[in-house]
Amino acid sequence: MVKIVRMSENKADGSIEPFYPETHAEAVVGLDIPIDAAVSKAKAYTDGKFTDSGWINLSLKAGFGNNSGDAVPQYRKINNKVEVRGLLARTNDLKGVFCNIPAGYRTSSNYYQGFTRGQQSSTAGAVALIYVKANGDMEIVSTVNNTSIWLDGIYWYTD
């Protein structure tokens, strides 16, 4: 149990008047320890929740590339959201697994997450279907024509 004591002073007329002293937090011996601990704990929490990996180039499998260096296929993780961007070039209308996302960046869903993405084409309705799997594989399942595929707009959560 904490004992609370009110400070007071005797006035010239014999009355007692309470008063509340003011001081700096630094003047209270030992107060800096719990304050520093609380600040460190809050910083560690926010640093862990609001992290940004920065853009990382996808490690592409044979037959897939980055369209001569423009719009390089990349991914990034901000907090628990992973985003993908870039233009994926393909050889001879190649389909299948084009990269594997590393552990820590993979979807937490056990179901294939399908994304319909546009293709770099003047053909109306040119799209591709891409699956993102819990094992980290990103796979092109179908395409309309033999052109590169935009990856922008693909995202998932890690928890």
What's the pLDDT at 45?
80
> φ and ψ at 80, to 5 degrees?
-115, 15
Share of the chain above pLDDT 70, in %: 92
Which pTM was predicted?
0.69
- Distance, in Å, from the CA atom of 100 to the CA atom of 138, rounded to the nearest integer, reads 6
pLDDT digits (tens, 9 = 90+) for 41-76: 888 787 766 789 999 999 999 999 987 677 999 999
Mean pLDDT of 86-94: 92
Give the chain's radius of gyration (CA, Å): 30
Of the CATH numbers 2.60.40.2460, 2.40.50.140, 3.40.50.2000, 1.10.540.10, which one belongs to the domain with range 56-157?
A: 2.60.40.2460
Could you tell me the two tokens for 34? 């719990």
Q: Is the confidence at residue 114, as pLDDT, over 70?
A: yes
> φ and ψ at 8, to 5 degrees?
-150, 165
Total residue length of the chain: 159
Nearest alpha-carbon partner for 105 in 79, 130, 128: 79
